[in-house]
Chains A and B, each alone.
Chain A
């Protein structure tokens, strides 16, 4: 810099200082060359150092399962990120809500249908409000099943939880305090209040009835998956992993059935507390994970109790919703969009384990599904109906309105549809 201003005292700086300055000229470009290298190095090195794990004592799958079972964590807060890469078409941000005419797509299924008809029949209310609302439901379910979503989870105890699904410039909150459950949608300025019956005051049902059960905390998802651990599954413990800065055991479930689309499910279990931190689902034969949900940050401090008191802010439309009488079955973890409006009719499950097929009988809902233009975009016509293909789940909507879903190939779904028709 000093040499430069010495030469710049002559008004025509660069040309006057030919000899000495020219030789040092290339040095002025050194920062421009070094800084990108340093940034690139930092961008590569920082995640690597965060993932460097100390080696944990070896554990058998049984011991890891016990670690989960003995987990005594009752209060924590953290950020959960869900990434789905199911091979569904991804809509650019903001397009889905406006082009489908169904309002903002950030809300979950069956939330906030202001008309009186919608609030009468509790869980399946959204389907009765016509194809417009069903398009919104489908698009919101689709949005949850594509791309990355972030939620903040606060758990203060068995009956105080708060989940904040973070969208750009919007947020959906589910707050549970005792038997009160509030669902608040900032973009629509609606709040929905449900009083849970005293009997079902368990953490599981409180959140299963909530509209954004699609962003599940790793603990919930791991529990549903571990309940399925039976002779159909190989369970092993993989190498140590690091999730949210904590060293964890990696429990790997591999289906024994060869006709399922699921390749493996891995659950990262915190080595210190036994809390499931991350769940990855990989499709058969695929290298990259198809579905991931996991903590990106986790704190084991008890969150402030202020977070669990919710009063609807001024200017908010408040609706009272009856408590769900029948437990809304959340299906196999991530319900496919086609099976979102679960009606009163009981689904029929054929087969057990990983290659089970769920059949929804024909009903008013599925009739609106087949005429849904968005669904028509997503599905491809096959013999006997329309097929929605993802890397983990296939859904067949037959021409007569029945819905078959399963983590199996399309051929098996068609065979099941043909067999059931007889």
Chain B
């Protein structure tokens, strides 16, 4: 997948740090070794061409939306198309919001699935997993490092959409005080705070999927399989969430609160969905993190 050369260049650069910390402290699982590994993991992730392509593709979505709305002469009818689409011509800051609404069901899970599904299976398939396990960090901590690195990608992916949306919106449309869902108007500064809150909400929403991807990634040595399975999980969950006959199941689906980030655009802010979403995602992280630990720490690593 083009991952192997990157890994090849990263492993030598990271390993002296690992050996150094192990030698200096004399213990095998030191916090500094974990932090060094995390730093190298994140830098490997963000030096990959694949990561950049995904981030650029995500940034292209708000740009496409903004350009399409700008060049279409027909005024958009409120109530048609994705929510908030009609508000873009009045206020460019809504571009990022529309882009998030479009990205949350499919594009974000797709990119997160690629990153999370690759975590362990990618190392296994390129033969670098055993070198990672030589490092003086336990397998549990290695999983944690992988998860945090994938979570960093979630933050980056969401921020890219929000920032690219705000930038292109400000470039093509007037920008002013933002109208909330409740009909109240807030200043640009508060709108910025709310946009960051929404980014935090969406990032949080993706962490459960990241944990699922991490677990699936420990099951196989084929990264593409793990990526596809993770994305399929996200889609199945959303399909189940749209069936009214499965009402009882809905609060347990990790996608259930994905689009409720608009609750942060009410006046006053409705924090209940933020709280429920956080609890739900934490539960998914705990369950699938534990499953991943059980699987990975008992796995025979041969490659």
Contacts and interface: CB of A to CB of B under 8 A. Distances in A.
Interface of A: 1-2, 4-6, 8-9, 11-15, 25, 28-32, 34-36, 39, 79, 90-93, 97, 103-104, 146-147, 152, 164, 166, 168-171, 173, 175, 182, 184, 186-191, 297, 304, 307, 310-316
B294 A186 contact: no
Interface in B276-295: 283, 286-287, 290-291, 293-294
Nearest to B285: A35
B244 A168 contact: no
Nearest to B250: A148
Contact of A168 (B86, B262, B291, B299): B262
B77 to A, nearest CB: 9
The 8 lowest CB-CB distance pairs between A and B, nearest first, are A14-B300, A1-B138, A31-B290, A313-B179, A184-B183, A29-B294, A169-B83, A32-B294
B50 to A, nearest CB: 28
Given A5-B29, A5-B139, A79-B272, A312 B293 contact: no
Interface of B: 28-29, 78-79, 83-84, 86-87, 90-91, 101, 130, 133-134, 136-141, 176, 179, 181-185, 242-244, 259-260, 262-263, 266-268, 270, 272, 283, 286-287, 290-291, 293-294, 297-302
B266 A166 contact: yes
Contacts of B101: 169
A12 B131 CA distance: 10
A39 B283 contact: yes
Contacts of A168: 259-260, 262
Contact of B29 (A1, A93, A146): A1
Given A164-B266, A315-B90, 4 more contacts: A28-B294, A36-B287, A191-B183, A315-B91
B28 A2 contact: yes
A81 to B, nearest CB: 11
Contacts of A97: 79
Nearest to B291: A32
Contacts of B270: 152, 166
Contacts of B130: 11-13
A12 B301 contact: yes
A164 B266 CA distance: 9
B21 to A, nearest CB: 13
A202 B130 CA distance: 76
Contact of A8 (B78, B91, B133, B290): B133
A312 B244 contact: no
A11 to B, nearest CB: 5
Contacts of B263: 166
